Amino acid sequence: MSDLPFGFGMPDPDDRDKKNDPDKPGGGQENPFDAFGQLGQMLSQLGAMLSQTGSSTGPVNYDLAKQIAVQKLGGHVGFTAGEPSTAVEDAVHLAEMWLDPATTFPAGATVTRAWTTREWVEHTLPTWQRLCDPVARRMSGAWVDALPDEARQQAGPLLAMVGQMGGMAFGSQLGNALAQLASEVLTSTDIGLPLGPAHTAALVPANVEEFTKGLERPASEVMVFLAAREAAHQRLFAHVPWLRQGLLGAVEEFANGIKVDTAALQELASQVDPANPESIEKAMQSGMLEPQATPEQKSALNRLETLLALVEGWVDVVVGDAVAERLPGADALRETLRRRRASGGPAEQTFATLVGLELRPRKLRAAAALWRLVTDQHGMDVRDGLWGHPDLMPTADDLDDPMEFADRLGRKSEVDEAIAKLEDDSE
């Protein structure tokens, strides 16, 4: 492993011989200002590169991330204003009417949007910033820590630039990941998290059209089904105050515990050329994060997976009740979406690259079975009432034994006591 800081190379022996040999062109006495000239040239190249990648000063260069994502999506099929937007609005409006008798939660979306893939990137970037910053903050410091002691002492003022290089590296990775995700997602809640603006139901018609090609269902039917899922998600996120923070907070807690592999960083440091952005991207592809299975991370991961499964299971049941008798292909579409969410794919793997975990509700079917059982035995009022406080929600153990949970709900005195206690504690 090289002990030199990235961007610097070993001197060429031929150059040394040339300088010491007056008979060679350019040989003779060394110019003491040559080193300063070389450093100035390097700083000029680095400064020019940094100036071309936006003015982001945080641990991630989000300007660069957006530039890369938009550039990669340049050839992706989009649409013009008009017909797709109208189709999405009509689908969401119809879905909302069908959902009304299937849940006690009223409509949560006040705005309906048809996004291009590039608009998906733009509107979800603020949430990605919240999810990626915990990882990037650790990486930013690790870039400096990875430099050998001697190089760190010599670098001095360059350390700030090293931090910017780290921000560019993560920004490059994020930009590529967002482009991949944007080319696959169907709605703003497609990966289970509320990525878009609050109270906004959004579909990506170009991706919906591509998704529909693999199905033997009319495009209008698929659009309404996906609109119902998006609208159901928005009802939960709008009327369950703790849910958004519960999901995003669990991701943040997990990310905060990620350990940066400084040994890998030291190896990367010897491979990166500050004047060549492509070398940064190539180095980043080798991987830098080493998730630690700490008790805190296991707890956060378990909580996140359980909550994701409960959200997706609830949406599956509610949408199923809302469209079952109205869409002939509802059952087939439900199964397709279940498999798509449970098995993951390139988009899920991309997210895992970003924050170090996979967003797969592994117990989606168990959660759907639990919500189905609660609905059948106690009605949708009791089912939806459980979202009133996180302490009332089913646990991971309850997903393993939904019958016992449903029976426990039947003992109303215990539920009433729990609700009364929560109300007393909040006063």
Q: What is the 3-state secondary structure (H, E, C) of the chain?
A: CCCCCCCCCCCCHHHHHHHHCCCCCCCCCCCCCHHHHHHHHHHHHHHHHHHCCCCCCCCCCHHHHHHHHHHHCCCCCCCCCCHHHHHHHHHHHHHHHHHHHHCCCCCCCCEEEECCHHHHHHHHHHHHHHHHHHHHHHHHHHHHHCCCHHHHHHHCCHHHHHHHHHHHHHHHHHHHHHHHHHCCCCECCCCCCCCCCCCEEEECHHHHHHHHCCCCCCHHHHHHHHHHHHHHHHHHHHHCCCHHHHHHHHHHHHHHCCEECHHHHHHHHCCCCCCCHHHHHHHHCCCCEECCCCHHHHHHHHHHHHHHHHHHHHHHHHHHHHHCCCCCCHHHHHHHHHHHHHHCCHHHHHHHHHHCCCCCCCCHHHHHHHHHHHHHHHHHHHHHHHHHCHHHCCCHHHHHCHHHHHHHHHCHHHHHHHHHHHHHHHC
pLDDT score at 299: 82
**187 vs 340: CA distance, rounded Å:** 14
Q: What is the pLDDT of residues 179-194, one digit of tens each?
A: 988 998 999 998 888 9
Q: How confident is the model at residue 24, as a pLDDT?
A: 47
Confidence bin at 45 (pLDDT 50/70/90): very low
- Three-state secondary structure call for residue 167: helix
Mean pLDDT confidence for 265-271: 62
399-415 mean pLDDT: 80
Q: Which residue has the tokens 């994020």?
A: 174
pLDDT greater at residue 130 or residue 261:
130
Strand partners, 114: 203
pLDDT tens digit sequence for 54-110? 455 677 888 988 999 999 998 555 554 445 789 999 999 999 999 999 999 999 999
pLDDT of residue 111: 95
Q: What is the pLDDT of residues 135-147, one digit of tens each?
A: 777 666 655 666 6
Q: Which region among 64-73, 160-169, 215-224, 384-393 has the lowest average model confidence (pLDDT)?
A: 160-169
Least confident of 61-70, 244-253, 307-316, 354-363: 354-363
CB 189 within 8 A of CB 230: yes
Residue 373 has a pLDDT of 95
Tell me the whole-structure pTM to 2 decimals. 0.76
Name the β-bridge partners of 187. Answer: 203
List, in order, residues 6 or more apart from 261 with CB less than 8 Å away. 288, 289, 290
Strands (E), 57-155: 111-114
> For residue 339, what are its two tokens?
């498999």
The answer on pLDDT for 201 being more than 90 is: yes
Give the span between the Cα atoms of 313 and 329, in whole angstroms.
19
Work out the pLDDT band at 363, boundaries 50, 70, 90: confident
**What was the pLDDT predicted at 37?**
47
The pLDDT, as a whole number, for residue 8 is 27
Amino acid at site 67 = Q
Q: Let me know: does 337 contact 277? Beta carbons within 8 Å.
A: no
Nearest-angstrom CA–CA distance, 39 and 13: 19
Average pLDDT on 301-310 reads 88
Mean pLDDT of the chain: 77
pLDDT for residue 96 = 97
pLDDT at residue number 251: 81
Sorting pLDDT into bands at 50, 70 and 90, what band is 13? very low
Residue the block writes with tokens 């491979």: 271
Helices 117-145, 243-256: crossing angle, 10 deg rounding: 30
For residues 151-163, give the mean pLDDT.
63
- From the list 312, 338, 1, the residue with the least C-alpha distance to 148 is 1
pLDDT tens-place string over residues 364-403:
889 999 999 999 999 999 999 999 999 999 999 999 999 9
pLDDT at 380: 95
Instruction: Provide, rounded to the nearest whole percent, the portion of the chain with pLDDT above 90.
Output: 40
Check whether 1 has a pLDDT greater than 50.
no
Report the pLDDT value the prediction gives residue 248, as an integer from 0 to 100.
86
344 to 333, 350, 360: CA distances (angstroms) = 16, 10, 6
SS3 308: helix
pLDDT for the residue numbered 5: 29
Distance CA 308, CA 96 (A): 22
Q: Where exactly are the structural domains of the chain?
A: 59-362, 364-427
